[in-house]
Structure 1
Amino acid sequence: MIALFQAVSSYKSRVRPTRKFNQSSVPRWVPVNKSFIALTKMILRSAATRLGLEQAAVTLRCLNHQGYRHLLLADDVRDLFVAASGGAEEFIISTQEANASPFQGFDAEAALSLPVNFKTPDNESQRLGYLVVQMAPGVHVADATVKHELSLVIEEIVRVISRYQSRYRSIHWYGDQSFWVGNSSILRQLDQRIDQLAKRKSPVLLRADKGTGKIIAARRFHDIACSETAPFIESDCREWEEGTATAILQSLRSCATGGTLFLRSIDALSAKDMLALRHFCLQWMAATRSGTSLSLVFSLSSAAIDPVAIGLGWMMHFVQSLPLPTLAERREDLHDLVQFFIAEFALAGDVDLQDCAWQLLETHEFTANVEGLKNLLKQVAMRNQGGLVTADELRALL
């Protein structure tokens, strides 16, 4: 990763390397930790409720590495040695409270097992484990609708694994933990849209408000569009000195070639710097035709900004707009987000919300979207030492 800081008076942008790009820095492991288990349980319990399943579980082949349980997403000689030495184990995450034991009262005749496969960076299919469900009375194993729905459950589990791979990469390269949380239909559609745009190598314009995950979307685009060791360069146009855009863009292009350049808040540029950005994009299009590889992602500081009204009408001819959903549009994800953040921050581990507190939360408008919800729940978890959070306690923090 290379970080760009405030331009100096000489109009030369200052950059510094924060992580050397090499194969050894590529994250090959996904930790099967508390939050991973919580998210997977949410998917399984939601499926059980929706499909009327008695029980559901996913079995995952894991390795113990440096004292931690991980999923392995790439095979090499060292990994095979770890597996052969007895470090491998089958780990079960189920709708039951106990994860490390088989189903109680398991009935093989009323069960269905489907493989959980994950595509490696080499586009090869890797078997991670199996989704095993016990059907409710009256639901037949041969029911094609049930099998289709279960395949969607597997897609959700694989998507969580993919998000955790991005999260692990974020920790390893970027020093944070930015990734999507939730299973709503609009979030699934967003994942699919990013996947389509990344595979087409289309330049993307993110139109979204604060707290909706612009950095997550940009990094996800990069993860799909570029090789694992390709640079991801992010720069916020609000930090540029006026009149320095040409010099900064030249420096950024040299740093990001072969990877992705993410320019944030391009609406903050002056009219003169907007012209410099347009010239840069024309050069990019010419370089793309000659085979030079550079993925571009732009963002506006607010979803309400009209690109044409601020002089970016020319850009709309070659970029693909990607709106990101607000928290209000992701109401289906609210329970998942709340449970995830409470599990992340709660010291006692048994914090939950009373029904009246849930109702208050569901009707509140968070101006900072998911970021605002996260900050609120951090305060709730720190103040509550276990038990139910009342509406009055929640209202005092809103």
Structure 2
Amino acid sequence: MIALFQSMSSYKSRARPARKFNQSSVPRWVPVNKSFIALTKLILRSAAARLGLAQAAVTLRCLNHQGYRHLLLVDDVRDLFIAAAGGAEEFIISTQEANSTPFNGFEAEAALSLPVDYAAVGNAPHRLGYLVVQMAPGVQAGSDLRHELQMVIDEIVRVISRYQSRYRSIHWYGDQCFWVGNSHALRQLDQRIDQLAKRNCPVLIRADKGTGKIIAARRLHDIRCSETAPFIESDCREWEPGSAAAILQSLRSCASGGSLFLRNLDALAPRDLLALRHFCLEWMAATRSGESLSLVFSLSRIDIDPVAVGMGWMIHFVEPLALPSLAERAEDLRDLVQFFIAEFALAGELHLQDDALQLLAKHSFSNHVDGLKSLIKELALRAQGNEITVAQLQPVLAAHSQTCAVE
């Protein structure tokens, strides 16, 4: 027993207290701010161009509180918080520049309306608003139009879910681990996570450092589990050799009913890998008996072959989830830079000149987003004035390359 506690003290199991969210506070986590409106407009305009729509809009059920507009993600208009805020309202985001109604040239008789339903984990779906579209002159609505529009609705709901995860990360997990941007790679990742979350199977995250493995694990947890369910994270690199069996049983007890995220499995010794395999077989038997526990694993690098490190059996046990590198998220670079500048700038506004941003885009970061974050922090500390020029950026990039070469 003493040995168990000694081994347990050497790893960092991050257990979050299982406290229930106050439903009246949930809407505050998804503000209808400029970035949310911009992302929704991007989705609507892309759909309009693809489907031959004259105009498209989504009406969203919102409330105003302390001067800010928030999505109403709970279906209880009697809530005291909502009553104090003056009740719910509808906010329209459209393909037109102004977010207002009616549309210019809008014909209600020729419009098609589909409901936008939202369901938080553990809650029944409720009506958040409607997607309203009107075909362009001379364009006939095809038989597959409703299916295509439902895909547009699904993408909007995924944006809402991502924003909810962002504010859950800040208020619930106490950090700022969330994806920034709306690149094609991130949108595809959202879809993949949604698909995996609907299956009751373990997930193996394959990605390099700095690509967001903890974000992906939390996102799976948020979709699969209720708000009160525990999320337990443990790094296998910090386990005492030979202690895996005892640690896994302890973690299983802590994470029961929620999610267990085991990081860096490739750090385990052969004996501990056998203990992990036995643990997974026990999990399979327990889930057939009705036990609820979501398993998420990760490897330290994307190029690690599970077979080469003694985990060939796991290939048939898990669903893989590959995360995009920073190079694959080039569309997100500007958003990421602005986000980190806002975090690290000591005084006033600070931004990169366009030619400096182009130079930054050509740089290869060894730790992906983490590497970019470190570089922006250095730039913010060195910055003189409100603009970062190529001349200021070049020596920092050179120093960053030397540091990576040494590592």
1:37 alignment partner AA: K
Q: Does 1:257 align with 2:263?
A: no
Structure 1 residues 326 and 231, CA gap change in structure 2 (3 angstroms):
same
Residue in structure 2 matched with residue 3 of structure 1 by the alignment: none
TM-score normalised to structure 2 length: 0.78
**Quick one: distance in 2 between partners of 1:378 and 1:146?**
47
Render the CA deviation track for 1:252-278: whole Å, top value 9, x for unaligned.
010011111100011112222222222
Contact in 1 for aligned 2:221/2:259 (Cα 8 Å): yes
The correspondence for 1:48, drawn from 45, 50, 57, is 45
Contact in 1 for aligned 2:18/2:228 (Cα 8 Å): no
Structure 1 residues 343 and 61, CA gap change in structure 2 (3 angstroms):
farther
Render the CA deviation track for 1:338-382: whole Å, top value 9, x for unaligned.
45555666664573531x233223322122222333444455566
* Residues 201-280 of structure 1 aligned to structure 2 (within 5 Å): 201-280=200-279
Q: CA deviation at 1:322?
A: 1.6
2:263 alignment partner AA: R
Render the CA deviation track for 1:59-118: whole Å, top value 9, x for unaligned.
43322346643212112364377248624344455678876x668x83324996755432
C-alpha RMSD of matched pairs (Å): 3.8
Structure 1 residues 134 and 395, CA gap change in structure 2 (3 angstroms):
farther
Render the CA deviation track for 1:191-227: whole Å, top value 9, x for unaligned.
2222222222111111110111111111111122222
Q: CA deviation at 1:233?
A: 0.5
Contact in 2 for aligned 1:63/1:72 (Cα 8 Å): yes
Structure 1 residues 363 and 133, CA gap change in structure 2 (3 angstroms):
farther
Residue in structure 2 matched with residue 198 of structure 1 by the alignment: 197
Render the CA deviation track for 1:97-153: whole Å, top value 9, x for unaligned.
876x668x83324996755432343564433335567988x6858578988766554
Q: Which moved more, 1:284-293 or 1:294-303?
A: 284-293
Q: CA deviation at 1:183?
A: 3.1
**Quick one: distance in 2 between partners of 1:12 and 1:231?**
19
Structure 1 residues 243 and 23, CA gap change in structure 2 (3 angstroms):
same
Structure 1 residues 11 and 357, CA gap change in structure 2 (3 angstroms):
closer
TM-score normalised to structure 1 length: 0.80
Structure 1 residues 17 and 94, CA gap change in structure 2 (3 angstroms):
same
Q: Does 1:19 align with 2:35?
A: no
**Quick one: distance in 2 between partners of 1:345 and 1:145?**
48
Q: Which blocks of at least 5 consecutive residues in structure 1 are unaligned? A: 1-6
2:37 alignment partner AA: T
Contact in 2 for aligned 1:40/1:160 (Cα 8 Å): no
Count of aligned positions: 386
Structure 1 residues 151 and 9, CA gap change in structure 2 (3 angstroms):
closer
**Quick one: distance in 2 between partners of 1:313 and 1:375?**
36
The correspondence for 1:28, drawn from 26, 29, 40, is 26
Q: Which blocks of at least 5 consecutive residues in structure 2 are unaligned? A: 398-407
1:391 alignment partner AA: V
State, as a whole percentage, how many aligned pairs show the same letter: 63
Q: Which moved more, 1:212-221 or 1:57-66?
A: 57-66
**Quick one: distance in 2 between partners of 1:320 and 1:16?**
24
**Quick one: distance in 2 between partners of 1:50 and 1:390?**
37
* Residues 277-316 of structure 1 aligned to structure 2 (within 5 Å): 277-316=276-315
Residue in structure 2 matched with residue 127 of structure 1 by the alignment: 127
Q: Which moved more, 1:334-343 or 1:212-221?
A: 334-343
